[in-house]
Amino acid sequence: MAQETRGKVLLTGISGFIGLHCAKEALEQGFEVVGSVRSEAKENEVRATLEAASVDTANLSFAHLDLTSDKGWDEAAAGCDYIMHIASPFTIANPKTEDEMIIPAVQGSLRALRAAKAAGVKRVVLTSSILSMMGTMKTGTFGPENWTDTSSPSISTYTKSKTLAEHEAWKFMESLPREDAMELVVVNPGGVFGPPLGKNITGQTMALTDQMLRGKLPMLPNIAFPMVDVRDLAVLHVKALTEASAKGKRVIAATSDPISFIQMAQVMKDQGYKGPSTRKAPDFVLKFTALFDREAKGMLGMLNMNLSADTSETQEVFGWTPRPAVESIQDTANAVHALQN
């Protein structure tokens, strides 16, 4: 006889850095998980990765979904109590055209919400970003009431995509009839660090750490922002599925204090790694590099940023305390180093 679960969750983007950790946490907390992937090979990879992390995958199944296609969404959501929508294009580099990133982000969120409504889902937990709150602020403190102005020429395409996708999600909820019982919670992570599940270190955070450890970044831009450990972020996502007082909230998942690239490098050096540099790059270097490098251009809007986050509501609603940033950076460096060799 099958063990009763706490509910069935459609988890989009399960094969990603955040998605794998969320799947692990959801399965361990007694939920049945339907993970969205784009191929059967990804199914096998996800299941093997979770099992290698000692996760019981008996309550794991898969659906094949694409953020840019309607195909399969209603079938994947059928019978689900919750949707955790994590899938979204992510790269620091600005794409050649904005639509390459913005259309999948916005349309993917709307497809998840439409499928949720059609399936009678209780709640959707949508992964956004603190970038949708930080805007063009350079110093000070931002909170859930803040919104990034998507018309600003200084924000990156990724920032714009996350902000527009979240805007459209809230607009969708406002369009529902008053008697509709579906709920939305948006989780807004800071920069996501922590050890990966599995051997994939191609994501932005892992790639940045890899380059630092290898000594490939002789100078670092003057940027500091709140961050979060992926393990803490997964706990928050799963709590957001059922926490009654989280309904309708934008949840900041991050340390309150900003962490700079130079601080990250110093933590790694203190661990004994020789590769990281703590030299600060003059602003003109990044500005010049941005003329021909899309990744540098994507970071321009964050230059000289030193922002704090108001996480009081997150702590109050969830009783959530993130682990120290130093611990997260150390664990990230150790995990990436182990996978380099």
Tens digits of residue pLDDT in 101-142: 899 899 999 999 999 999 999 999 999 999 999 988 889 999
CATH number at residue 143: 3.40.50.720
**Would residue 146 count as lying in a domain?**
yes
- Return the sign of the alpha-carbon dihedral for residues 29, 32, 37, 43: positive
In a domain, 304, yes or no: no
Q: What is the pTM (predicted TM-score) of this model?
A: 0.93
> Does residue 112 fall inside a structural domain?
yes
CB 217 within 8 A of CB 277: yes
Which contiguous run of DSSP H or E holds residue 188? strand 183-189
Residue 198 CA to residue 50 CA, distance in Å, equals 8
Locus of tokens 């191609």: 202
User: What is the SS3 assignment for 271?
Assistant: coil
Is residue 300 assigned to a domain?
Answer: no
pLDDT reported for residue 92? 53
pLDDT at 263: 96
Q: What pLDDT, in 10s, does the model give residues 293-329?
A: 666 566 666 778 889 999 999 999 999 999 999 999 9
Question: Number of folded domains in the chain?
Answer: 1
Give the domain extent around 104: 8-199+227-256+309-322
Confidence of residue 278 (pLDDT cuts 50, 70, 90): very high
Q: Let me know the angle formed at the C-alpha of 323 by 321 and 324, rounded to the nearest 5 degrees.
A: 120
Does residue 76 form part of some domain? yes
